[in-house]
Amino acid sequence: MKKIAIILALFFVPSLILCSESPEQSTQLPQKEMVDEKSNEYLTQTPEIDTTKTDINLPEIPSAATKIIEIETPQESIAETQESPLEQTIEKTKEATTASEKITSEEIQITPKTQAVIDLVNNAVDYTISHSFTECMTYFRNLTNGDINLLVIDQKGTIFIDTNYPRRTWKNILEDQDSDGKYYTKEIINIASEKNEGWLTYRWAGMTKLSFVKKMIINNKMFIACSGVHPYTKKDATMNMVKSAIDYLQQHGKQETFNAISYPLGQFVEGDIKVEAFDLHGKCYASGYESSMIGADVIDRKDQNGVAYIQEYIKAVEQKNDKEGTWVKHMFNNAPKESYVVQTIDPRTNEAFILVSGYFPESTAEKVQDLVNAAVDYIQKNGLKNADKIFADVNKPFLFGDLYVFVQGLDGWGYACGQLSGYVNVNLLNNQNDELKKIITDINTTAENGGGWSGYQFQNGYKNSFISPVVDVEGKKVVVGVGYFPVSKETTSLILINKAAEYMKNHGKKAILRELVKDRGPFEIGDLFIFAFDFNGYCLAYNGYYDRIWKNFLDLKDKDGVDVIKEMIETAKKGDGWVKYKAGNLMRRIYVHPTGKFEDASQPFSTSPLMLAVSFYE
C-alpha cells in the first residue's frame, strides 16, 4: 500500500507532533464562544468585520457506526490560473536587507481565507487611529472571525492580546521557535519594523502556517498585529513549501538549504509535497524526491509525454519579465502534475537557482478507491503471478501520479508495491522497525474487518490508505491497498479521530484523556484537535483548556437554538456522524465518534464509553 511505500522512510518516522508554542495557534472553539454561565448562550461580541470565508462543499458522511468511512476529498478551491508572484529576482534578492524580506502582500495568493486574515489585521490597525490604548486592548479582546484569531505583541515580543489563547497574555515569546527551529517572533518584528507589513510562513502543529503581520502605533509606542491560517489545499501547501525553502536559503545559504531539502524527513518534506533545486543550466543540486538526481545534469530529462520538463522550468522563470513564480504542467505516471517554479539567488554566492515543488491534483480519494477495485479485479482473474511487475508498469493502469497499488498477505508477505521492489518478496513483519510492523498489522486488521480507510502519519504528513477486504487468491489470503495524502480539514479530521480511537483502544480511557488535555499534544494538527465528552454532557478533555473539564454543557445552545451537545449525543447513539451548529455568525461542523454503546454509559468511569470529537468552521 502506499502505506507500504511510505514504509521506506519509516525507519526515521518521528512521533506524531512535537511543537513549540505559536502566537496564533488556532483552536476549535475560540474563547469568545464559551458558554456564559449566566445566560447559557454563546458570547458573540464580534466587532463588525468582513466575515468572508472559504465555502467548502463537504460530502456527507454515513452516520452508521462503522470503521469504514468513505470520503471524497474536496477539490482545491483555489482559482486555477491565479498564480502567486514571487519577487525573487537576482537583482531584488541582492537588495534584500533582512532575512524577513521574502514574502510580500503581492506574493500571496489572495483567497477568501487570506483576505479575511488581512481584513482582521487591518480592522485592528484602523481602530488604533482614533482610540486610546485601553480602548484598543478592550476592542482587540473579542476581535476574531471564526478560526481566524488576533495576536498583538510589542516590539520586545511580549503578548498583549491573544484571542486564541488569552491565558498567554504577558508571556514573552521573543525566543520562541517553530518546530523547524525558526524564530518566528523575531521575523514578525523584523517585518513590521522594516516593511510595515508583510507575510511569513512557519511550521506549526505539523503544518505550514501563513501569517500576515502589520505595524501599528498606540500612544507613540509600536505594536504588531498578527493573524494567520493553515492552508488545507495542495496548491497552497505546495507554494508555501517553496516559499519556506526560499526563506531558508536566504538565511542559511545554498549548502545548508540543499542538505535540508534532500533529507527524507526534513522540514521540506510534507507527505507527498517535496522540493527540488536546479541551476539555470539544468544541474540538480537537491531533491526530496529522487536522491539519484543530485549532482547530475538533468537538463534533458523528460516526462511521460516526452517533454523536457527541466527545460520547461527554466523557460518558465526566464519568460516571466518580473521573475515571478509560475506553474508548469507535465505528465508523470499517467497523471497530470502541477509544479510551482521560482527563481531565487543565494545572497552569499550570487548564484541563481530554481526551486520547485509539485502535486498531482487528480490524486483523489475516488481515484484511490478506483485503483484498489481495479487491482482486486485483476488478481482475482489473473492470480498473483507477475502482479509485482504488472502493478509497477507505467504502461498499465495501476500507476497514477503518486498513487500505486500494494499487495500483501495476512502473514506479512509482500507481493507487490508499485515500483518499490524492496517491499516485494520479503516478509514485512520481519522488519526491525516497529512502526512498519504496526502499519502492516493495522492494514491487515482493517482488511479483516471488511476493508476501509486506514490513516497514519508519514513523512511529516498524514497518509490515508484505502484497504480492500481480504481477497482469497490461489489459496492465499491477501490485502490490496492504495494510499494518498489528503489535504482538507475533513479528511484530516477523520484521520485524527481514527488515531485517537486506536490509541484509546490500545492504552485505555485515562491514557487518551491525558493526551487530549495537552496543549499542542499528539492529537492536534494545524488548527484541528480532538476533544472528548461523556454521554451525559460533561467535558472530559478540551485541548489545553482545563477550566472546561467536568463542566456540563448539556444545555448548550447555539444562536439558532440548536442543542449542540444533545445533537452530538443523538448522533453518537447511531454511530459516527456530523453535527452542524452556528458559532457567532459562522457555521461549524463537529465530527463525533463514540467509543462504545450508549447503553453502557452508566458503567463505572473507567469502562464507560465517551465521545471523541473534532470540529472546524466551514
Q: Report which of residues 493 and 215 the model is more confident about.
A: 215
- Place 512 in a pLDDT band, splitting at 50, 70 and 90: very high
Q: Single out the residue of 360, 88, 57, 401 nearest to residue 235, CA to CA.
A: 360
* Side-chain half-sphere exposure of 415, counting CA atoms within 13 A: 25
**Architecture of domain 365-484 in this structure:** 2-Layer Sandwich (3.30)
Q: Report which of residues 299 and 69 the model is more confident about.
A: 299
- Does pTM top 0.75 for this prediction? no
The percentage of the chain sitting over the pLDDT mark of 90, rounded to a whole number, equals 59
- Average the pLDDT over 48-75 and give the result: 29
Q: Please tell me the predicted confidence (pLDDT) of residue 107.
A: 52
Please state whether 205 falls in left (phi above 0), alpha (psi between -120 and 50) or beta.
left
Q: Please tell me the predicted confidence (pLDDT) of residue 293.
A: 95
Answer whether 587's CB lies under 8 Å from 560's CB. no
**What kind of fold does domain 2-53+111-229 have according to CATH?**
Beta-Lactamase (3.30.450)
Answer whether 466's CB lies under 8 Å from 481's CB. yes
- Average the pLDDT over 71-86 and give the result: 30
Confirm whether 2-53+111-229 and 365-484 share one CATH topology.
yes
Q: Please tell me the predicted confidence (pLDDT) of residue 549.
A: 96
Answer whether 56's CB lies under 8 Å from 196's CB. no
- Place 206 in a pLDDT band, splitting at 50, 70 and 90: low
- Place 342 in a pLDDT band, splitting at 50, 70 and 90: very high
Q: Single out the residue of 608, 606, 584, 581 nearest to residue 597, CA to CA.
A: 608
Q: What are the sequence ranges of the domains in the chain?
A: 2-53+111-229, 234-271+273-359, 365-484, 489-617
Answer whether 392's CB lies under 8 Å from 418's CB. yes
Q: Please tell me the predicted confidence (pLDDT) of residue 521.
A: 82
Task: Tell me yes or no: is domain 489-617 CATH 3.30.450.20.
Answer: yes
**What kind of fold does domain 234-271+273-359 have according to CATH?**
Beta-Lactamase (3.30.450)
* Segment of 203-207, 372-376, 455-459 carrying the highest mean pLDDT: 372-376
Q: Kindly tell me if the per-residue pLDDT of 382 is higher than 50.
A: yes
The percentage of the chain sitting over the pLDDT mark of 70, rounded to a whole number, equals 81
Q: Please tell me the predicted confidence (pLDDT) of residue 324.
A: 64
* Segment of 365-369, 450-454, 497-501, 600-604 carrying the highest mean pLDDT: 365-369
- Average the pLDDT over 223-241 and give the result: 87
Grid look-up 507481493 returns 415
Cα dihedral 376→382→385→390 (10° resolution)? -70
d(CA 552, CA 531): 14
d(CA 551, CA 282): 62
User: Under 8 Å CB-to-CB from 333, ≥6 apart: which residues?
Assistant: 304, 394, 399, 400, 401, 402, 404
Tally helices (H) and strands (E) across the chain: 13, 27
Cα dihedral 533→534→535→537 (10° resolution)? -60
Mean pLDDT, the chain, rounded, equals 81
d(CA 203, CA 22): 9
Q: Please tell me the predicted confidence (pLDDT) of residue 44.
A: 27
Q: Please tell me the predicted confidence (pLDDT) of residue 389.
A: 95
d(CA 192, CA 189): 5
* Side-chain half-sphere exposure of 459, counting CA atoms within 13 A: 25
Q: Report which of residues 83 and 574 the model is more confident about.
A: 574
